[in-house]
Amino acid sequence: MNRAAHRRRDTQWLADAWKRAQVLVVDADGRALVDTSTRPYELILVAADAAPDGDRLFLGEDDEQVYFAVRGELPAETGGPEPHTVRAVGASLGARDAGLFVEAVALANWHDNIAYDPVTGAPTQARDGGWVRVSEGGAQIFPRTDPAMIVLVHDGVAGPAGRALLGRQAEWPPGRYSTLAGFVEPGESAEAAVVREVAEETGVAVTDVRYVGSQPWPFPASLMLGFSALADPAQPIRRVDEELEDARWFTRDEIRAQRDANRVMPMTTSIAYYLISNWLDGII
C-alpha cells in the first residue's frame, strides 16, 4: 500500500476520497474488528457512511482502494468478527491489513495525546488527513516516534551449545524470558543505547553490535530497532538498575524446546520473537 503523502494537503481530493473509502474503526483500547475465520485473518473495514464521527485519518491507497481510520466505537456485529488488538492478531493478518492496523493505531494514539499545543496549551485541530495538528496560533505539530533498541545478546558459539542472554520482567507470565530492550536517550546513537542498556540491566559488556531490522511498535509510539551483540557468558550478571526480575543465559537447545512447544516465548508478532528465531536458526 502507498501512504501517498502527496495527497495529505489536497483537501478536495481527501473529501472526494472519503466518499469511496474503506474505513478501519479503532476503539479507545486500540482494538478493531477482525475476521478470524479466514487465513490470513482479515480486518473488518466499513464504508465511510457507516463510520463513526471523528478525525478522518488518511492511511493511504493502493491500485483499487483508498483507506482511512477513525477512532470510535466499533461497529455492531452479530457473530463472526470480534475485537482484537494488533498485539493479539498482527502475526496472523495479511501484509496489507497488518500495515493498516499498526498505522491506524499509532496515528490514533498520537492524536489522543496532542489535543493541546505542548508549548502554549492552546487547542489543536487535525489537518492534512490527520498527519499534522495545528494550534490557534498556527503552530504545526507532527506525529512523533520514540526510538528504542532491542537486542539479542549471544556468545557467538554455533550449534546447540551456543547461548543467548535473556531477561524477565516481573509482570510477564510465569517462565517468560525475552531479549533486552530500552529507549534511546537524547544525544545517543542506537548502538550506544544497546551497550548502555545491556550494562544497566545485566552488568554485561557487549561488543560487535550489529543492526538486524526494525518494527513499528505503537504501544503507544515506539520504533523498535533490532540488533545482535556478542558477550562473554563468564561475566557475572548484575541487575544494576533493577528493571528486570531476572536475567540468565540459555542454550539454543533450551530455547528451541520452548519455542517448539509454544511455551512462554515472546509474542510471534514481536521483533523479539524474530530475533530469537533467527538466532536459533543460525541467521544472526
Question: 150-196, pLDDT tens digit by residue?
Answer: 999 999 999 999 999 999 999 998 889 999 999 999 999 999 999 99
pLDDT-based confidence at 271, cuts 50/70/90?
very high
| pTM of the model as a whole | 0.91
3-state DSSP assignment of residue 193: helix
- Percent of the residues in the chain that have a pLDDT greater than 90, as a whole number: 89
The pLDDT value recorded for residue 230 is: 98
Q: pLDDT tens for residues 36-56? A: 999 999 999 999 999 999 999
Q: pLDDT tens for residues 214-269? A: 999 999 899 999 999 999 999 999 998 989 999 999 999 999 998 887 777 898 88
3-state DSSP assignment of residue 221: coil
Cis, bond preceding 186 (omega within 30 deg of 0): no
Closest CA to 164 of 25, 90, 266: 266
Average pLDDT over residues 106-131: 95
pLDDT-based confidence at 78, cuts 50/70/90?
low
3-state DSSP assignment of residue 227: strand
Beta bridge partners of 253: none
Closest CA to 27 of 82, 99, 91, 78: 82
Burial of 48 (0-12, 13-18, 19+ CB in 10 A): middle
* CB 35, CB 44: distance < 8 Å: yes
Distance CA 282, CA 218 (A): 29
Average pLDDT over residues 11-32: 97
Q: How far is CA 229 from CA 37, 106, 221, 281, in A?
A: 40, 29, 25, 16
The pLDDT value recorded for residue 63 is: 87
The pLDDT value recorded for residue 75 is: 83
* CB 276, CB 265: distance < 8 Å: yes
